[in-house]
Structure 1
Amino acid sequence: MKQPLDQDPRLLRLFMAVAECGGLSAAEQRLGLSRSTISTHLSELESRLGFRLCQRGRGGFALTPEGEATYQAAKHWMAAGEAFQQQVLELQHRQLQGELIIAISDDSLNHPNFSFSEVVQRFRAQAPGAHLRVSSLNPSAIAEAIGAGQAHIGLAPQSSLTERFYSKVLYQEQSFLYCAASHPLFDARTHNRQALLQQDFVGAGYSWHAALTEREAPFNTCAIAPELEARLALILSGTYLGFLPEHVAAPWVAKGSLTALLPDELHYTTKMAAHCQSQQRSNKLLHLLFALLNDVHYVNAKKN
C-alpha cells in the first residue's frame, strides 16, 4: 500500500470538500463535478488508502472513524504545505533584495509599445524588498554607464555599441525628419531632397548606429543635442530641421506644430532593447527584470 504522502493531493482535496459539505450532492457545486465523478474519485482514494472513508447511499452521508481521522490528517498536511510555500516565498524575497540601477533612453518612456510601468508593477510585487534607481539618459551615455558598471541594465537602441552586451529586443520605433510651423519649409507643397540637406540641421551628436549616422551625415549640422528634449526644443524653434522618433513628434504634429518632410525617403528604424553586461546576468534582481521585460513585451506583441 502507498504511504500517505504519496497520495494524490487532488483526491485529498476532493475528499476534504465532500467532508466539509456533508455529502456528495452538496459538494457538486463547490467542486464543479458531477456526483458520479466525485464518487469515482472517492472510491479511487479509498482503494489507495485501503479503508473506507465515508458511508454514502440511501442511509445518508457520514464519515467513518478512519475517514474522520484522515480528514484531520489531511487538514494538517495541507496547512503544512501552505506554510512551506510561504517560507519558500519569504526566502525568495530575501534573495531579491538590494539595489538595481536602470538607465532608460530618453526617447522611450512614452512609447506606446514600451510597457515599463507594467514591468515595474510586476517587479515590485515579486521583489518588494528591492530598491530601484532609474535615470533617463541618451543612448551613448547608457552604453558608457553599463560598460563602467554604473548601471545594471540599460533600455536603449540596439547598435554596434551594444554588441558586447547581452541584449533582448523589446520593440521597434520609426524616426522621421521634422520641421516646425515657423520654419520656411513647413507650408511648402513639395520638398526637394537637396534643398533639405542645405537647411540648418540639429544632430544627435553621437554615433549610435549605422542608420542614424547614415541619415545625419549629409545634412548641414549646425547644432548638436544628444538629449531628445533639447533636440525637440531646437526643432520647435523653427530654426533647425532634425530627426525625432515618431511617437515623440506625434502630439506636436497633431497640434500642427511639426510636420515630417519626405517621410517615404527620410526615415530610419530603431530596435529598442534591454542591455546588460553578460557577467551580470547572475544578479537575481537583474534576471527577474529581464524575464519580466521579455514576458510583458512578448504578451503585448501577441495582443497587437
Structure 2
Amino acid sequence: MPAIGTLERITQELDWNLLRTFMVIVQEGGITRAANRLLLRQPTVSNALKRLEGQLGRRLILRGPGQFQLTQHGELLHRECVEIYGNISRLAVVLREVKEEISGHVTIAMASHVTSPIFDEVLAAFREEHPKVTYTIDIATSVDVVQAVLQKTSTAGVCLVHRHNPRLRYQHMYREHFGFFCGPRHRFFGRAGVTMRDLRSEPLVSFKTDRTTDALRPVALLRAAENFEDRIVGTSSHLEEVRRMIVAGVGIGPLPIHVVERDVRDGLLWRLPPFENPPAVDIFLVTNPLVHLNRAEQHFLDTLMARIEATPPSERVYPPEFA
C-alpha cells in the first residue's frame, strides 16, 4: 500500500487526461474501441492505462485473450472518475448561474420515440413563463441517456429503463403500448383477419433493445411466446429508422401505437395483431440527485415533476384504451 506521502504526491501529480482515458476504456469495454472514440492510436491509449496504473501502484483492468475485467481498485476508480467528470462538465453551468439568475440552459437527453403530452405542455408553458431560458434536447439510446445523466452532462433524461441505477432517481412518466406494423408494400397491408400465426415466419425489423435482457423485454417476450422465427433483418436504436424500414417493406416491426397513429391514418402503416393486451413499456424521467442545477434547470424539473405527480396514472397510459 502506498505511504501517505506517496498518496499526497499522486493527488498533486495525477493527470486528468489519464483518468478520462481510463473512464472511456471502461465505457467502451476495450482499448481498441476506446481509441476509436478518442480518435487516438491504440498504443497511445494502452500506454495511458499503463501510466495510470504505474502512478497509482494498482492494477486496474485484467486483460487477456477474451478477458476484460475491472479489478476492485478499477471499479472504485471508475466510480470516482464518473463523479469527477460530471463535476467538471458542470463548471460552465455553475459559473453561468452567477450572472444568469433565472435564465439558463436546460439539457434533456431523450430516447427517440418519446411522445408525451405532459412533457410538451410543460415545455410550452415554461417557455412562455421564462423566455430567456434556452434548451438542448439530445436524442440517444436509453443506455446513453442514463449515462449522460450519470455523468451530469444532461439536466435529466427521458427513456426506457431496464435496471435502476441506485445513484439516480426515477420518476415514472407514462406507459406506452407497442403494436406490430407493416408498410404499404407488404402483403398484409390493408388486410383484415391476419393472425399471430401468420406473422411467425415474416422478416422482422426492430430496436436494438428488443431482447429479453434489455429495455424492450415485453416485446421480445411476446415474440418468444408466439414462436416467432428469429428472422430479424434490420435493427436500429432510433424509432425513425425502425419506422423507415417498416414503411419501406424491409419487414414488419414493433412501434409505440400512440406515436404512429397519424402514420396509420395517412396510410403509411398498417396495424397487425395482437390487438388485445399489446406489450407495455414504461418511460421514466431520470435525474441525478448529486448534480448542481442552475435555477432554470431546477425550476423546469420541479414544474415537470409536479405536473407528472398531479396527473393520475390512468391518464398517463397511451393509447388511453389500455389504461
Band of TM-score, shorter chain: 0.5 to 0.7
1:275 aligns with one of 286, 289, 292: 286
- Does 1:146 pair with 2:149? yes
Quote how far apart the aligned CAs of 1:205 are.
0.8
Q: Percent identity?
A: 18
Q: State the partner residue of 1:64.
A: none
Other-structure match for 2:163: 160
Question: What TM-score, normalized by structure 1, do the two folds share?
Answer: 0.59
Instruction: Give the Cα separation in 1 of the matches to 2:236 and 2:128.
Output: 38
Q: Where do residues 215-254 of structure 1 align in structure 2 (5 Å cutoff)? A: 215=222, 218=228, 219-254=230-265
C-alpha separation in 2, matches of 1:185 and 1:291: 46
Q: Is the alpha carbon distance of 1:253 and 1:122 closer, same or farther for their aligned partners in structure 2, counting shifts above 3 Å?
A: closer
Query: For residues 163-178 of structure 1, what are the structure 2 equivalents within 5 Å?
Result: 164-178=167-181
Once the two structures are superposed, residues 203-246 of structure 1 have per-residue CA deviations (whole angstroms, 9 ceiling, x without a partner) of 10123243244245644211111111111110011221110011
SS in 2 for 1:267: coil
The runs of at least 4 consecutive aligned structure 1 residues that moved more than 6 Å come to none
- State how far apart, in whole Å, the 2-side matches of 1:302 and 1:187 are: 34
- Contact residue 173 and residue 283 of structure 2 kept, 8 A: yes
Return closer, same or farther for 1:296/1:209 CA change in 2, 3 Å cut-off: same
Q: TM-score, normalized by length of structure 2? A: 0.56
The secondary structure found in structure 1 opposite 2:301 is helix
Query: How far 1:263 sits from its partner (Å)?
Result: 2.4
1:121-136 aligned within 5 A: 121-124=124-127, 129-136=132-139
State the one-letter code of the partner of 1:248.
V
Counterpart residue type for residue 239 of structure 2? L
**Residue of structure 1 in register with 2:108 after alignment:** 102
Q: Which amino acid aligns with 1:101?
A: T
Which of 111, 115, 120 is the equivalent residue of 1:117?
120
Secondary structure of 1:248's counterpart equals coil
Residue 264 (str. 1) matches residue 271 (str. 2):
no
Structure 2 gap ranges (5+): 1-96, 316-323
Counterpart CA distance in 1 for 2:290 and 2:125 is 24
Deviations 1:283-304 (A, max 9, x none): 6444322221122334454995
- 2:41 equivalent in structure 1: none
Query: Alpha-carbon deviations, 1:253-273, whole Å to 9, x = none?
Result: 113332222123672112222
Match of 1:292 in 2: 303
Alpha-carbon distance in structure 1 between the residues aligned to 2:257 and 2:137:
24
Secondary structure of the structure 1 residue equivalent to 2:158: strand
Q: Distance in 2 between matches of 1:303 and 1:245?
A: 17
Equivalent of residue 211 in structure 1, options 215, 218, 222:
218
Q: Gapped runs of 5+ residues in structure 1?
A: 1-90
Contact kept in structure 2, 1:170 and 1:293, CA below 8 Å: no
Change (3 A) 1:134 1:282: closer
The count of residues paired between Structure 1 and Structure 2 equals: 211
Label 1:302 to 1:200 Cα distance change in 2 as closer, same or farther (>3 A): closer
Do the aligned partners of residues 216 and 229 (structure 1) sit closer, same or farther apart at CA in structure 2, a change above 3 Å counting?
farther
RMSD over aligned Cα atoms: 3.2
Counterpart residue type for residue 202 of structure 2: Q
Q: In terms of Rg, which structure is larger?
A: 1
